[in-house]
Amino acid sequence: VKHATPAVSPSLAAAQVGCETRVRHVDADPEAVRWLEAVGIAQGESLVVLRRASFGGPIHVRTGAGGEFALCLALARTIAVLPDGCAAEPKALMNPGETREIDGGEVEAREVAAE
């Protein structure tokens, strides 16, 4: 799994617990993207973060199809999401061109066309 190079969208790893988000894209190799699609984590699908394990452990999400999954943080970082349904985290809101450290990695915000 490659590490995320997210655009303006925050990664799932940064999403707030209890918030419903929508997957913007998955930045992993094609096989992993297809496999995630099979479990219900794909572009356009909604996700709710239910909880996070301690010390940077996995995050527990519920997919739009009703399944619940635990995803390791490295994988969650490859899933770019759009804030949806509740206020985004302050750190998720970035201006295009701005760089910021999120989850141990430097992230540069890019302009993304609205869907």
Partner 1 sequence: VSEHRNAPPTVARGASKVLAQDVLIALVGRPNSGKSSLFNRLTGGDAHVGNFPGVTVDILEGGATTPTGIRAAIADLPGLYSIEATVDPETDEGVAQRFLRDALASSRPFGVVQVIDATQLALGLRLTRELSRVQAPLLLVVTQSDVLEAQGACVDASALEDALGVPVVVVSARDSATRHRVLDAIEALMATAAALSIRSARAELSSDAIRSLAKRAIRAPAAGSIDARAERRRTFTTRADAWLLHPIAGPVLFVGIMAALFSAVFLVADPVTALLDAMKQSLSDALGHLLGTGLLASFVTDGLLGGAGTVLAFMPQIVVLTVAMELLDATGYLSRGAFLVDRLLRILGLSGRSFVPLLMAHACAIPAISATRIVRDPRERLTTILVIPLITCSARLPTYALVLGTFFATYNAFQKSLVFLSLYFAGIASALVASLVLRRTATRGRGLPLVLEMPAYRAPEPRVIARKALQSAQRFLRDVGTTIVAVSAILWVLLSVPVRSSTHTSIEFADANRATADAHASIDDTPIERSIAAFVGHALEPLTAPLGFDWRINVGLIGSFGAREVMVSTMGVIFGMQNAGEHPEPLAQRLRDATLADGSKAYSTRTGLALLAFFVLACQCVSTVAAIRRETNTIRWPAFVLGYTYALAYVAAFVVYNFAGFLGMR
Instruction: Determine phi and psi for 30, rounding to 5 degrees.
Output: -55, -40
> Between 8 and 36, whose beta carbon lies closer to partner 1?
36
Using CB under 8 A as the binding criterion, the count of chain residues that bind partner 1 stands at: 35
Strand, coil or helix: what is 11? Answer: strand
For the bound state, the minimum distance from the C-beta of residue 84 to partner 1, rounded and expressed in Å, comes to 16
| 18 CB-near residues (< 8 Å, 6+ apart) | 48, 49, 50, 86
* Residue 19 binds partner 1, judged by CB under 8 A: no
From candidates 19, 20, 37, 84, binder to partner 1 by CB under 8 A: 37
